[in-house]
Structure 1
Amino acid sequence: MARSRANGIEIEYELSGPEGGPVLMLIHGVGAQLIRWPPALIERFERAGFRTLRFDNRDVGLSSHLNHLGIPDIAAIVAARAAGGEPELPYSLSDMAADTAGLLDALGIAQAHVLGVSLGGMVGQVLAIEHRARVRSLNLFMTQSGNPDLPPSDPGALAILSKRAPDPQEDREAFLSHQAALNRALGSPDYPAPESELRAFAALAADRAYNPAGPARQLAAARGAPDRRPQLRALSVPALVVHGRNDPLFPPECGTDLARSIPGSWLLEPGGMGHDLPAELIDLFVETVRANCARA
């Protein structure tokens, strides 16, 4: 792994795969470090010829933590946006998209295929809207357009997502149990990950970096963002939308709405898939993304 300065912050990143291969920039979701990407997925993309670029978003992992910006009031931000106002945010999706463009600049990469998951899919959309020349194709997984009329998240999943996690330095066992339960609630019902795997990854992530206020600020950027559909309709980039039919955080309507908003986009809706990247679907993901990138 390496570090670069971009858009005024430090970004921890990893660039690997065949020299000269097309770059696939991977942007993950709220609180997810770059180690969250399944190694098998990275390996398959690189075997397919891609040079993969993954990184810690601002405020998580080993990238800059912006704790001086404080902890946002998510309820107030949501209320302000619902009322048609412009909520005060620690930073915006535009700032996060500028991070990604700045990282490409720092690495001397003119263009990249973009794969964004959840919050990362929102950042990818804004990157394509505001930095169009940098994006060769868009691959948007389990995300949404900012449409305020989309159906809400499953209440049970939202409840556990909103629950404050125990501090792993104070009660490691409680933290691991919480993280396993959270991932189980959001995950794919037809492809459940083993409990031991969920706990082992939670321990690995906590030991690498722990900054609970960072995901709150990332969530504020997502929840405080405006409707992107008018700008998405003006895009002319090959786009793929992948959305599980059993996603409890972003219901399936979010995927169909997003695909409808981007001209010429493809929509893939795997049955039994929730808000994660199950190992059983990796080959499907890679082949579909590769086909979309070939349209560029």
Structure 2
Amino acid sequence: MRTIKIKSGITISYQDKGKKSAPVIIMIMGLGAQLTVWPDELYLGLVAKGFRVIRFDNRDTGLSSQLEQFGSPNLFKIWLNKRLPIKSRIPYTLDDMANDVLELMAELKIKKAHLVGASMGGMIAQIIAAKYKKKVLSLTSIMSSSSKPKLSASNLKLFLQLAKHRRAQASRDGAIHYNIRLNQLIGSPAYPQDELALRKQATLGVDRAHNPQGFNRQLAAITASDCRQHLMPKIKAPTLVIHGSLDPVMPIAAGKQTAAQIRKAKLKIVNGMGHDFPPALMVKMTKWISKHVKKAEQKRAQKKLKKAVSGKR
């Protein structure tokens, strides 16, 4: 694991594997999730496919900078601020988090990259692909959305169930229990993971880093950020949208809508998948992303060749 200080002063913890000359894939994780939530089977699988792959902790997550100076934001006031003239303190937005990715690329001297984003990470990747087109070679948006998260009967029930366990996070055992329960509730019904495996993942994650307030600040960033639907038509990079048919956090409609708003986007609906990375699907997901990135690389090479040929005439 490495760390690097980006231009904004934030320190980013990251992992960088693969040949430096290979096409670059940057993986952007979701709300409150550390880089280790990207399964090794997927991460190392993409490296084995011939790519240079970077995964990192977002600000306020894992071993990257914890922005404790912002305290715990009032999510209700931030929500009202988008609807009424009420002032509320917003620690940062998704645009700030998108800028972290761009600054990380700059520090690592990466001019262009293929972006793979999950959940909130998909939102961040969408912003970069729409606003900084020349930096993005392809986009893969997983279990994400182009609009603000909406309360439905299913995710309201989920949030209420999780709320019962949140206070217990103050202790190590409480945090581990919460993490297990979270993954049981958002997991894939068709690909359930046993509690022993979930306990092992939760323990590794909590012992690596645990920052509930960082989760709240990231959630505030999602709440405070604008809807991205108007940005989707601006995305020109080849796009793949992967979404589970049984996602309780981001309904399947969110994935379909995102794909419909991006020109020529391809949609992959995964039957029985929820809001997680089932081990049984990681070989397939590696194949889907690898194929998508390789096609984008081929199109890029063809454009370069065509430009070179026309320049000689």
Normalised-by-shorter TM-score class? over 0.9
| Per-residue deviation, residues 177-207 of structure 1 (Å, max 9, x unmatched) | 2211110000001101121111111111111
Count of equivalent residues: 294
Assess if the C-alpha contact under 8 Å between 2:41 and 2:283 holds in 1.
Answer: no
* C-alpha distance in structure 2 between counterparts of 1:84 and 1:115, whole Å: 36
Residue in structure 2 matched with residue 62 of structure 1 by the alignment: 63
The Cα shift of 1:31 comes to: 1.1
Distance 1:64 1:21, change over 3 A: same
Q: Select the structure that is richer in helix.
A: 2
Distance (whole Å) between structure 2 residues aligned to residue 137 and residue 217 of structure 1: 29
The whole-number CA distance in structure 2 between the counterparts of 1:229 and 1:85 is 24
The answer to whether residue 42 in structure 2 is matched with residue 21 in structure 1 is no
Partner of 1:129: 130
1:223 and 2:218 correspond = no
2:168 counterpart (163, 166, 169): 166
**Counterpart for residue 283 of structure 2:** 283
Instruction: List aligned pairs for 1:24-39, cutoff 5 A.
Output: 24-39=25-40
Contact (CA 8 Å) 2:169, 2:178: kept in 1 or not? no
How far did 1:83 drift?
5.1
> 153-162 or 227-236: which moved more?
153-162
Counting only pairs closer than 5 Å after superposition, residues 167-186 of structure 1 correspond to structure 2 as 167=169, 170=171, 172-186=172-186
% same residue: 37
8 Å CA contact 2:60–2:215 kept in 1: the answer is yes
Deviation at 1:85, TM superposition (A): 8.1
Matched residues in 2 for 1:165 and 1:124: separation?
Answer: 31
The CA distance in 2 between the partners of 1:94 and 1:74, in whole Å, is 18
Q: CA deviation at 1:100?
A: 0.3
Unaligned runs of 5+ in 1: none
Structure 1 residue 244 displacement after superposition:
0.3
Partner of 1:202: 202
Distance change (3 Å), C-alpha of 1:84 and 1:41: farther
Two-structure CA RMSD over aligned residues (Å): 2.0
Question: CA separation of 1:84/1:283 partners in 2, compared to 1, >3 Å: closer, same or farther?
Answer: farther
After TM superposition, the score normalised by the length of structure 1 is 0.93
Amino acid at match of 1:203: T
Alignment of 1:265 with 2:265, yes or no, is yes
The alignment partner of 1:189 has SS state of coil
CA 1:151–1:135 in structure 2 vs 1: closer, same or farther (change >3 Å)? farther
- After superposition, residues 227-238 of structure 1 pair within 5 angstroms as 227-238=227-238
Question: Structure 1 152/91 Cα, relative in aligned 2: closer, same or farther at 3 Å?
Answer: farther
SS of residue paired to 2:244: coil
Q: 2:52 — aligned with what?
A: 51
| Cα offsets for 1:185-244 (capped at 9, x unmatched) | 000011011211111111111111111100111011112221111111122110111110
- Look at both structures and tell me which one has the larger radius of gyration over its CA atoms: 2
Distance 1:85 1:231, change over 3 A: farther
Q: Are the counterparts in 1 of residues 175 and 206 from structure 2 also a CA contact under 8 Å?
A: no
Q: In 2, distance between residues paired with 1:295 and 1:86?
A: 47
